[in-house]
C-alpha cells in the first residue's frame, strides 16, 4: 500500500478520493487550506478508524507547501503518490472578468500544482520511485466560452504534466493526468446569477449546464476510482478520462472543425437545449435558476 498526499480535500473530489483510498488500505495525508473549517473528513476518519491524517496545506503558499511535505516525510519516511486536486473554477467572461480573478485562478490551479510537484520531486528522485497524479478537466481539452480562466489553467496543467512526464520517466517516476467531466459538487450551487446588464447573456447557458449536472448522477467517487486504478497499476498510460460525459464531450469536439465549434456558440437557445439533451443534460430548468455567489473558494 502507498503513502498518498492529496490536496483540496475539504469537499468534492478530494474528500471522496481520500475516503476511497483510505478504505483501500492506503495511508492518506488529506490536505486542505483550513482544516478547522471543514471537520467532516476528520470525523469520518475517526468514526471508521481510517488511515487518514488531516494536514493544513495552502497550495498558494510556498511555505505552507514545504511545511506540509516536510511533515509527511518526517512522519511516513517517504511519499509514494501526490494527487494534485486543489482548484477553483469560476465562470468568466474575458471582457468582464477582472484580471485579478485570472491571476488568482492561475495561482491556485497551475502554480499550486507546480509548487507541490517541486516540493515532492527531490525525495521521489532520491528513491527513484513515485507517482504524480494531476487532476485536469474536460475544459483543459475542450475550450468552451465562459471557461476562459479555468480552461487556461487546466490547459497549462496538461502541458506541464506532459513535459514533466518526459523529464522524470528516466528517474523511475510516473506522471498521470485524470480528466473528469462535469461532475456535480456543492460548489456549483454557489454559481452567481448572470448579471442583467452583461453583454454576454449566453453565459447563462454554461451556468445551466453546470447546474444540470446534479441530475446526471455521476458521483465524485468515479474520479477516486480512476485514481485508485492508476495507483494500483490497473490503469497504465498517461491520460485517463474519468467520467462518461467527458468521453462524450471529447468525442463531440473531435467531430467538429475549429470553425464549426466556434460557430456553435451562436446557435439559438432551443437548438442548444436540444443539443444538450442529446448529450444527457437537462439544462432547461436551470437557465433561470437563482443562486447567490460566485464559484471561488
The catalytic residues are: 10, 136, 150, 154
Using only the alpha carbons of the chain, give its radius of gyration.
19
Helix axes 12-23, 221-232, angle to 10 degrees: 50
Cα 138 to Cα 150: distance, rounded to the nearest angstrom: 11
* Strand-strand pairing, 3-6 and 27-32: parallel
Q: How many Å apart are CA 34 and CA 54, to the nearest integer?
A: 10
On whether the CB atoms of residues 102 and 93 are closer than 8 A, the answer is no
The DSSP annotation for 3-49 comes to: EEEES--SSHHHHHHHHHHHHTT-EEEEEES-GGG-THHHHHHHHHT
β-partners of residue 83 are 6, 133
3-state helix, strand, coil in the chain (%, to 5): 55, 10, 35
Amino acid at each position: 500500500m502507498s503513502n498518498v498526499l492529496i490536496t483540496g480535500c475539504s469537499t468534492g473530489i478530494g474528500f471522496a478520493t481520500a475516503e476511497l483510498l483510505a478504505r483501500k488500505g492506503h495511508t492518506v495525508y488529506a490536505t486542505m487550506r483550513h482544516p478547522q473549517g471543514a471537520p467532516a473528513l476528520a470525523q469520518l476518519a475517526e468514526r471508521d478508524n481510517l488511515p487518514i491524517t488531516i494536514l493544513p496545506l495552502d497550495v498558494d503558499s510556498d511555505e505552507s507547501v514545504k511545511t506540509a511535505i516536510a511533515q509527511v516525510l518526517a512522519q511516513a519516511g517517504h511519499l509514494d503518490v501526490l494527487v494534485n486536486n486543489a482548484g477553483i473554477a469560476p465562470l468568466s467572461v474575458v471582457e468582464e472578468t477582472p484580471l485579478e480573478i485570472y491571476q488568482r485562478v492561475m495561482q491556485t490551479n497551475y502554480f499550486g500544482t507546480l509548487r507541490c510537484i517541486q516540493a515532492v520531486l527531490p525525495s521521489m528522485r532520491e528513491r527513484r520511485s513515485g507517482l504524480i497524479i494531476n487532476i485536469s478537466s474536460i475544459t483543459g481539452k475542450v475550450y468552451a466560452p465562459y471557461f476562459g480562466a479555468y480552461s487556461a489553467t487546466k490547459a497549462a496543467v496538461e502541458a506541464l504534466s506532459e513535459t514533466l512526464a518526459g523529464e522524470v520517466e528516466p528517474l523511475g517516476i510516473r506522471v498521470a493526468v485524470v480528466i473528469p467531466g462535469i461532475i456535480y459538487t456543492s460548489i456549483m450551487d454557489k454559481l452567481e446569477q448572470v448579471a442583467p446588464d452583461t453583454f454576454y447573456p449566453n453565459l447563462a447557458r454554461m451556468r445551466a449546464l453546470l447546474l444540470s449536472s446534479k441530475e446526471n448522477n455521476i458521483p465524485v467517487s468515479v474520479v477516486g476510482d480512476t485514481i485508485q486504478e492508476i495507483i494500483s497499476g490497473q490503469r497504465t498510460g498517461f491520460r485517463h478520462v474519468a467520467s462518461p460525459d467527458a468521453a462524450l464531450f471529447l468525442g463531440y469536439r473531435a467531430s467538429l472543425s475549429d470553425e464549426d465549434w466556434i460557430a456553435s456558440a451562436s446557435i439559438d437557445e432551443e437548438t442548444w437545449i436540444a443539443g444538450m439533451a442529446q448529450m444527457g443534460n437537462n439544462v432547461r430548468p436551470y437557465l433561470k435558476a437563482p443562486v447567490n455567489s460566485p464559484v471561488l473558494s
